């Protein structure tokens, strides 16, 4: 079903949180990522990708449960 997408969702969320907590770009080049490319912006991109993965998994699960071939009821 859609478990692959839910695992990807979790990885996006955890990865975004780790990048935000570690302040990855700012740590290696202070002052360079003040406007574009900061860890907070990367975090938000990861959250959007996680939400997209969740939506894809929900669609896959819906299709699986409503497909006449795989439906059990």
Interatomic CA distance for residues 56 and 8, integer angstroms: 10
**Model's pTM, two decimal places?**
0.84
pLDDT at 49 over 90: yes
Residue 66 has a pLDDT of 87
Domain spans in the chain, listed from the N-terminal domain onward: 3-66
Question: How do residues 6-48 score in pLDDT, each as one tens digit?
Answer: 999 999 999 999 999 999 999 999 999 988 999 999 999 999 9
């Amino acid at each position: 079903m859609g478990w692959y997408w839910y695992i990807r969702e979790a990885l996006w969320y955890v990865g975004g949180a780790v990048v935000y907590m570690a302040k990855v770009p700012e740590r290696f080049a202070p002052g360079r990522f003040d406007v574009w490319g900061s860890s907070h912006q990367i975090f938000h991109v990861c959250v959007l990708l996680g939400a997209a993965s969740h939506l894809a998994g929900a669609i896959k699960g819906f299709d699986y449960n409503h497909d006449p071939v795989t439906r059990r009821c």
